[in-house]
Structure 1
Amino acid sequence: MSEAFRGEYYQKVDGKARVLIPAPFRRVLDAGDSHTPESPRTRMVIVYGGKHRAFCECYSFAEAEKLAAQVAALPPGSKARLRAERDLITLSATTEIDDDGRIVLPPKVRDKLGLTPDMLKDGIEAALAGATNRFTLWRKDVYEDEFLGGDEDEDDDIDPLALLGQAAPGA
């Protein structure tokens, strides 16, 4: 992985379900896509699977291909592979970033985030949160409640740098 998705951004979702991808995220997405005459715009993959998730995960095209390879490496027909195929491959959408740096949220993504036509009409914000090789996409109010607020984590007193020692060597 060359460059990571970092930071958090709040962006308005307009009445046509378009959201601006922040410039730092667009640079990472652009670097992770091979442009061709047939596909000149930067592509990204939005994974909306996972029954208990209130967010979507967004990958550069290259990172989505790596994810697909990890799924394909699972034993064919195994419960783990079937679930991974469903939640990470089937329940995903490839979209392109337009010339203004926006994407149109596909209907299934809007459903996953709980974005209703009235919300889009009245104006709603999305939260885009960096997560190394991907970023997560949330409805802003849900992000603030679940990701930023939520219940007190029992590990709140642990220095996050101490967690890095738990990673496998070379990971």
Structure 2
Amino acid sequence: MARRFRGEHTFKVDAKGRVSIPAFFRRVIEAGDPNWTDGLRPEIVIVYGDQTRDYLEVFTVNAINALDDKIAALPRSPLKRKLERMVSGQSHETEIDPDGRLVLPQKLREKIGLQKEAFFIASGDTFQIWKPETFAAHEAEYAEELGDDVPEGTDPLDALDMVLDARGAR
């Protein structure tokens, strides 16, 4: 099984758009790049998407290839075209520099309003980069929406067990 991203971190963004990548994230990126070896710069793909996305999603080479394969397997449709445009067209291939930093182009920083700090949050085989204030607002909104479906004090892991039990997949 492939290594997965875990955790959340906040890092400073310098005037050139350079931001450090959490050390553990770098290990996952390296493991997810089949061409990476010691001394080379590991590659990633940043999907920025259309105006509805207020964060950047970072994929390892293996993760973006798996996503590309899933999209390619879809029948021709408006959804397939939209996914192809987002994943292939509204994305940026880049690499991690020798100091463990990512250079975010001005266009991407402006898209999500990134200025002095970047908030990183793991999302399984990808991670997201947010403007910290935007993420906090998004999380507050999400918690309010979730509140109707999950009784107060419920541990989300318990809820996962309930879903698995209902499906008979336990």
TM-score (norm 1): 0.83
Counterpart position of 1:91: 90
Shift of residue 112, structure 1, vs aligned partner? 2.0
Q: Distance in 2 between matches of 1:35 and 1:22?
A: 21
1:48–1:108 CA contact under 8 A, matched in 2: no
Tell me the residue number matched to 2:160.
Answer: 163
Q: Does 1:150 align with 2:141?
A: yes
Compared CA separation, residues 165 and 5, structure 1 to 2 (3 A): farther
State how far apart, in whole Å, the 1-side matches of 2:135 and 2:36 are.
35
Question: Which aligned segments of 4 or more residues in structure 1 are displaced greater than 4 angstroms?
Answer: 167-170
RMSD: 2.3
152-161 or 51-60: bigger deviation: 152-161
Q: CA deviation at 1:107?
A: 3.0
State the distance in 2 between where 1:169 and 1:85 align.
35
1:103 aligns with 2:102: yes
Q: 1:72 to 1:21 in 2, by over 3 A?
A: same
Deviation at residue 169 of structure 1 after TM alignment: 8.4
1:8-47 matched pairs, under 5 angstroms: 8-35=8-35, 40-47=40-47
How far is the alpha carbon of 1:114 from its aligned partner?
1.7
Residues 165 and 84 (structure 1 numbering): CA distance in 2 closer, same or farther, change over 3 Å? farther
Larger Rg belongs to: 2
Q: Tell me, in whole angstroms, the C-alpha distance in 1 between the residues paired with 2:102 and 2:65.
A: 20
Q: How has the CA–CA distance of structure 1 residues 143 and 36 changed in structure 2, closer, same or farther, with 3 Å as cutoff? A: closer
Q: Is the 8 A contact 1:35 1:41 kept in 2?
A: no
Residue of structure 2 in register with 1:114 after alignment: 113
Q: What code does the residue aligned with 2:149 have? A: D
In the alignment, which residue of structure 1 is the partner of 2:72?
A: 72
Unaligned runs of 5+ in 2: none
Shift of 1:15: 0.6
Answer 1 or 2: higher relative contact order, Cα 8 Å, separation at least 6: 1
Q: Which moved more, 1:105-114 or 1:12-21?
A: 105-114
Letter in 1 for 2:5: F
> What secondary structure sits across from 1:150 in the alignment?
helix
Partner secondary structure for residue 102 of structure 2: strand
Give the TM-score taking structure 2 as reference length.
0.84
User: C-alpha offsets along residues 71-117 of structure 1, whole Å, 9 cap, x if unaligned?
Assistant: 111113x11101101122210111110010001002332132123xx
Q: Which stretch shows the higher mean deviation, 24-33 or 45-54?
A: 45-54
Q: Is the 8 A contact 2:112 2:131 kept in 1?
A: yes
Unmatched runs of 5 consecutive residues or more in structure 1? none
**2:123 aligned with 1:128, yes or no?**
no
Q: Deviations over 1:26-57 (max 9, x none)?
A: 000000002369x9210111100043221111
* Secondary structure, counterpart of 1:103 in structure 2: strand
